Amino acid sequence: MHTSIQNINMISNDDALYQRALLLLQTLEDAGFEAWIVGGFVRNMIMGETPHDIDIACSAPWQTTRLLCQSAGFETRETGVLHGTLTVLVDGCPFEVTTYRCDGAYKDARHPEQVEFVSSIEQDLARRDFTMNALAYHPDRGVLDLFGGVADIESGVIRAVGDPQTRFGEDALRIVRGCRFASELGFEIEEATYKGMLANKGLLSHIAIERVKVELDRLLLGKSAGETILKYVDILSAVLPELVAMRSFDQKTPYHCYDVLEHTTRAIDNVKPDLLIRWTTLCHDMGKPAAFFTDDDGVGHFYGHGAMSVFIARGILERLKASPAFVDEVCLLVKRHDDVIEPTPRAVKRMLTKLHGDPALFRALCEVKRGDTSAQAQPYRAPRRETVDALEQTLDSILAKDEAFSLSKLALNGNDVVALGVTQGPDVGQALQAALNAVIDETVPNEPEALHSFIHAWWNEQNSAE
């Protein structure tokens, strides 16, 4: 059915991206073909959200689209022509233009063995994943909604197009994609769709792990990330099996009022939508079930859970092929997330040295601690949050005064140390670290003359000890 959605016109008429898309539509339709804006743009406009890209479906073969667009002065790129997709640049803005198609049999739970180009937009929409994405829009014809997508958007429901078993059997990545949409949009997965996801989640083992990682990253950045993980853990356990041990794990401690999984997911929803912070928060307590024991009074303890959580976090992120630098940063923050840091310059600078002298990592650690605290038992939240806030204030003061907390901030370098008589090699690094420690402890000022005297004394002590 065609529905007139004025919201789209009201939001988009002055939008440069949308106006360029209309030029492209006009180019195709002036040549006698039919073209529609499809997918996420339509969904987002109905929701009143600004689009970041626009996809177009049309009746023209991609070869014809290429000729028409080149004749109109648009640059084209053959990015997916085996599936009928051509990228067209209009004033530098890229648009994916795809010939109407339906998919043949799927060979690997992800890719169709062949696609068939068809003549109608109705056939094209029928192959899409969810009703909210199976919408087409034309400025003159309004919204084409064959599967109740507008109503599902208005109700906040994620529903598969047609038979869920078929949709997820065709492409298992749609399972994680559905959870990602739930996180980003705050929508609920409809019951039959949920059951279809559960029944087919084993097929996710066939999906390239890099594609899974992209969806998980976007899920974690969503406004309802923690709530989604908690609600759909039975689905997500197919790609994050580590979640299972956390579910319903009673911590048996007065500091916590939630099980490990609910604590973690509440913490996620209380930290900034930053990938490093969200992944760290997801992983920070994963080692608790392995570290758990109760004392004679039945109180739970988790000594060493940070180190165990690091081990698990590294395994997850390396399995997902995250970059080594990102893995190392997450693991460093997981390792330090439970460290007690007094809000004093000395303690903050000590922690900075453990974080490679990186203030951004210290702020990320504070945010993880803030989220962790927000998901603990009520009596402990406010005072612990005040401590975290004080830590950041102390950091701000240190940075404003340009105080030394890393070797690069010292008022001498390795060449200076060698010139003072220290033997080249490991001794130079040890001397610099000793000097930095003395500066942090405020026993030596960060001034060249004072540091030279300190290095002389330190070196003499090292030699006399030998």
Q: Quick: pLDDT tens for 296-333.
A: 999 999 899 999 999 999 999 999 999 999 999 999 99
Q: How far apart are CA 362 and CA 391, in angstroms?
A: 9
Q: What is the pLDDT of residue 6?
A: 45
Kindly list the distances between the CA atom of residue 376 and the CA atoms of 212, 229, 262, 328, in Å, as whole numbers in the listed order: 31, 18, 10, 27
pLDDT in tens, 215-228: 999 999 999 999 99
Across 326-345, average pLDDT: 97
Q: Is the pLDDT of residue 435 over 60?
A: yes
Alpha helices in 102-148 (DSSP H): 121-125
Q: Is the pLDDT of residue 427 over 50?
A: yes
Measured in whole angstroms, the distance separating CA 408 from the mean position of its chain's CA atoms is 32
Across 352-380, average pLDDT: 95
What residue ranges do the domains of the chain occupy?
A: 2-155, 407-465
pLDDT in tens, 369-422: 999 999 998 898 999 999 999 999 999 999 999 999 999 999 999 999 999 999
**SS3 annotation, 178-216:** HHHHHHHHCCEECHHHHHHHHHHHHHHHHCCHHHHHHHH
Q: What is the pLDDT of residue 354?
A: 95
Q: pTM to 2 decimals?
A: 0.90
Across 69-96, average pLDDT: 94
Question: 3-class DSSP state for residue 301?
Answer: strand
Q: How far apart are the first and last CA of the chain?
A: 89
Q: What share of the chain has pLDDT > 90, as a percent?
A: 85
Q: What is the pLDDT of residue 118?
A: 87
Q: Is the pLDDT of residue 46 over 60?
A: yes
Kindly list the distances between the CA atom of residue 128 and the CA atoms of 19, 25, 102, 208, 282, in Å, as whole numbers in the listed order: 25, 21, 9, 20, 31
Per DSSP, 113 falls in state: S
Which CATH topology does 2-155 take? Answer: Beta Polymerase; domain 2 (3.30.460)
When the pLDDT of each residue in the chain is averaged and rounded to a whole number, the result is: 92
Instruction: Return left, alpha or beta for 46; rule: phi > 0 is left, psi -120 to 50 is alpha, else beta.
Output: alpha
Q: Is the pLDDT of residue 275 over 60?
A: yes
Q: How confident is the model at residue 109 (pLDDT cuts 50, 70, 90)?
A: low
Question: 3-class DSSP state for residue 419?
Answer: helix
